[in-house]
Amino acid sequence: MTNQEAITSLKMLKLFTGYDAKSQITLTLHISIDMAIEALEKATPKKPTFSDNNYQCSSCGWEYLDDITLQKHCEHCGQCLKWEE
């Protein structure tokens, strides 16, 4: 299973469990699902964007990514980086 497939499954699980603001169990489950989705998205490599002579993190916009060492993660948000296709 890929990260994207897991994200899709978690989003479906969230829909199936519905949302009841009065239910602490549902609220806790939804917060947990959101945290898992965010962690999976950060672990899925994203290509940096290039503008103003800097490589920027495509998740948070941090603009000091090092294209010489091809750093593996954004030091600001933890996003996994993909430098080549």
Of 14, 30, 73, 76, the residue at the interface with Zn ion (CB under 5 A) is 76
Residues 49-68, mask of contacts with Zn ion (x by CB under 5 A): --------x-xx-x------
Q: What is the chain's length?
A: 85
Cβ proximity to Zn ion, 76 vs 82, nearer residue = 76
57-67 burial by CB neighbour count: b if 16+ within 10 A, else e?
bbbeebeebee
Q: Give, rounded to a whole angstrom, the gap between the first and last alpha carbons of the chain.
A: 21
Q: Does 74 bind Zn ion (CB under 5 A)?
A: yes
Q: 6 or 63, CB closer to Zn ion?
A: 63
Helix ranges (H only) for 1-76 are 3-17, 24-43
Size of the site for Zn ion (CB under 5 A): 8
Would you tell me which residues interact with Zn ion (CB under 5 A)?
57, 59-60, 62, 74, 76-77, 79
